[in-house]
């Protein structure tokens, strides 16, 4: 049986179309995916993402453990209130998941990862954490509401308590503030500015109602996917998984190679791949004809190489089909073709993102 977030009844009352997603009953849309997409690009929308996995890691060796566990280096989190994006790798360098880690007071850390990977991520962290004597707490008592869009920060600040509002108003990107069990982070998954808010579940409904009073509209999973695709952001299980390394998924920037003596799970495999030469790279695709690209369709490059669409769909902002693909690293030309329902359609290879802060930004040839 699928789980329900604390806001499930509210979603139903708001006439959301409910679907099963990663073991949860989640809102797909509230009437119009397109309207919800444009709302985030032009004003402010909110997402119930309480299905995400939230883990608190603590103990005397928590920092050392996470420096070993993650490809990025939590040593970069020099003070509480900082956040870091990282991949969680297996020994072969494959991506088990991608996540955000927050530094909290008293040497504690909070990890937020995907719902679909919950079981394997918790098992992996528990297994490797045993040798470090760390404590892992599943924060099922928290709800997670993301508010995104050019007006998101202004409208969120109006509904926060005075003390938390003061701590939050000057946050830079990938910083967080907290008050008691509530945490507000300037992070997101849409290519727009905004906050992700973690609060006790029993307070989630009050927050959502306060945001609605400030004209922040609810947004479902469907628009969340088109927004992240326009932003050129990877989706776990589509653009990356255990068969793909960060160097092949356009996430090489998340691997902290320095200091050289830091050992982390997957480092040896990644170093060998880097030395031998990476076979694949991630590119953006823009379809030049009518139609819609979808995952698993073939991409044929001008050099005769073959790649695959990993994410594809229709961009409401650009009013054309866009996608992400993995192609041979030798692909250097801007033009290629995608096989869509048996027909070869011309596409442009571009460097993501496609849309940033509501404005088109594709057009540069993929590096």
| Rounded-to-integer distance, Cα 311 and Cα 297, Å | 9
* Sign of the CA dihedral running 344, 347, 352, 357: negative
For every residue of 286-335, DSSP letters joined together read: EE-SSS---TT-EEEETTS-EEEEEEEEEETTTTEEEEEEEEETT---SE
For every residue of 53-120, DSSP letters joined together read: EEEEEESTTHHHHHHHHBSS-GGG--STTBEEEEEEE-TTS-EEEEEEEEE-GGG-EEEEE-STTHHH
Pick the CATH number of 279-360 from 3.40.50.80, 3.40.50.620, 2.40.30.110, 3.30.70.1290: 2.40.30.110
Going by pLDDT thresholds of 50, 70 and 90, the confidence category of residue 362 is: low
- In the chain, the percentage of residues whose pLDDT exceeds 90 is 96
CA 239 to chain centre: 11
Beta strands, E only, 190-319: 194-200, 217-218, 280-287, 298-301, 306-315
Q: What is the mean pLDDT of residues 347-367?
A: 79
Inter-axis angle of helices 62-69 and 118-129, nearest 10: 120
The yes-or-no verdict on residue 313 having pLDDT over 80 is yes
Q: What is the mean pLDDT of residues 124-133?
A: 97
Q: What is the mean pLDDT of residues 3-26?
A: 97
109 and 85 Cβ atoms separated by less than 8 Å: no
Task: Report pLDDT digits (tens) over 57-98.
Answer: 999 999 999 999 999 999 999 999 999 999 999 999 999 999
Task: Report pLDDT digits (tens) over 129-171.
Answer: 999 999 999 999 999 999 999 999 999 999 999 999 999 999 9
110 and 101 Cβ atoms separated by less than 8 Å: yes
Question: Per DSSP, what are the bridge partners of residue 29?
Answer: 17
329 and 281 Cβ atoms separated by less than 8 Å: yes
Q: Which of 178, 152, 176, 153 is nearest to 163 (CA)?
A: 178
Q: For the chain, give every domain's residue range.
A: 279-360
Cβ neighbours, 10 Å, residue 72: 23
DSSP type of residue 347: E
Q: What is the mean pLDDT of residues 277-288?
A: 97
Task: Report pLDDT digits (tens) over 185-219.
Answer: 999 999 999 999 999 999 999 999 999 999 999 99
- The whole-number pLDDT of residue 366 equals 34
In three-state secondary structure terms, 137 is strand
The yes-or-no verdict on residue 367 having pLDDT over 50 is no
99 and 112 Cβ atoms separated by less than 8 Å: yes
- The whole-number pLDDT of residue 365 equals 36
**Structure tokens given for 308:** 């695959």
Task: Report pLDDT digits (tens) over 217-253.
Answer: 999 999 999 999 999 999 999 999 999 999 999 999 9
| Rounded-to-integer distance, Cα 56 and Cα 294, Å | 36
Going by pLDDT thresholds of 50, 70 and 90, the confidence category of residue 333 is: confident
CA 298 to chain centre: 25
Q: Which of 142, 108, 111, 143 is nearest to 124 (CA)?
A: 111
Q: Which of 302, 101, 249 is nearest to 187 (CA)?
A: 101
The dihedral over CA atoms of 168, 172, 176, 180, expressed in degrees to the nearest 10, equals -20
Q: What is the mean pLDDT of residues 310-314?
A: 98
- The whole-number pLDDT of residue 297 equals 98
- The whole-number pLDDT of residue 251 equals 98
Inter-axis angle of helices 221-230 and 33-42, nearest 10: 50
Q: What is the mean pLDDT of residues 36-60?
A: 98
Q: Measured between alpha carbons, how far apart are the two ends of the chain, in Å?
A: 45
Question: Per DSSP, what are the bridge partners of residue 351?
Answer: none
């Amino acid at each position: 049986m699928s789980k329900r977030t604390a806001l499930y009844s509210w979603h139903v009352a708001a006439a959301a179309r409910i679907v099963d997603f990663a073991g949860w009953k989640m809102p797909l849309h509230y009437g119009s995916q397109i309207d919800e997409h444009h709302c985030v690009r032009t004003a402010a929308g909110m997402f119930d993402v309480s299905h995400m996995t939230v883990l608190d890691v603590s103990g005397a060796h928590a920092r050392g453990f996470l420096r070993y566990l993650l490809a990025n280096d939590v040593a970069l989190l020099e003070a509480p209130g900082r956040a870091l994006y990282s991949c969680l790798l297996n020994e072969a360098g494959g991506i088990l998941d991608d996540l955000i880690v927050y530094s909290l007071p008293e040497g504690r850390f909070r990890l937020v990862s995907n719902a679909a990977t919950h079981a394997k991520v918790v098992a992996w962290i528990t297994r490797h954490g045993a040798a470090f004597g760390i404590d892992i707490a599943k924060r099922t008592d928290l709800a997670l509401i993301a508010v995104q869009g050019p007006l998101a920060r202004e409208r969120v600040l109006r509904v926060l308590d005075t003390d938390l509002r003061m701590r939050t108003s000057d946050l830079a990107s990938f910083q967080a503030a907290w008050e008691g069990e509530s945490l507000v982070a300037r992070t997101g998954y849409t290519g727009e500015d905004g906050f992700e808010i973690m609060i006790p579940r029993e307070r989630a409904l009050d927050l959502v109602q306060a945001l609605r009073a400030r004209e922040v509209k609810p947004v479902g999973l469907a628009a969340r996917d088109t927004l992240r695709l326009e932003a050129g952001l990877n989706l776990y299980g589509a653009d990356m998984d255990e068969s793909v390394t960060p160097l092949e998924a356009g996430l090489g920037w998340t691997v902290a190679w320095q200091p050289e003596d830091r050992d982390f799970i997957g480092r040896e495999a990644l170093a060998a791949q880097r030395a031998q030469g990476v076979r694949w790279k991630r590119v953006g695709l823009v379809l030049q004809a009518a139609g819609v690209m979808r995952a698993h369709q073939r991409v044929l490059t001008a050099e005769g190489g073959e790649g695959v669409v990993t994410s594809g769909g229709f961009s409401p902002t650009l009013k054309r089909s866009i996608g992400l693909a993995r192609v041979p690293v030798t692909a250097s030309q801007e033009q290629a073709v995608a096989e869509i329902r048996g027909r070869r359609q011309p596409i442009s290879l571009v460097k993501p993102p496609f849309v940033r802060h509501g404005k088109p930004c594709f057009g540069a040839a993929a590096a």
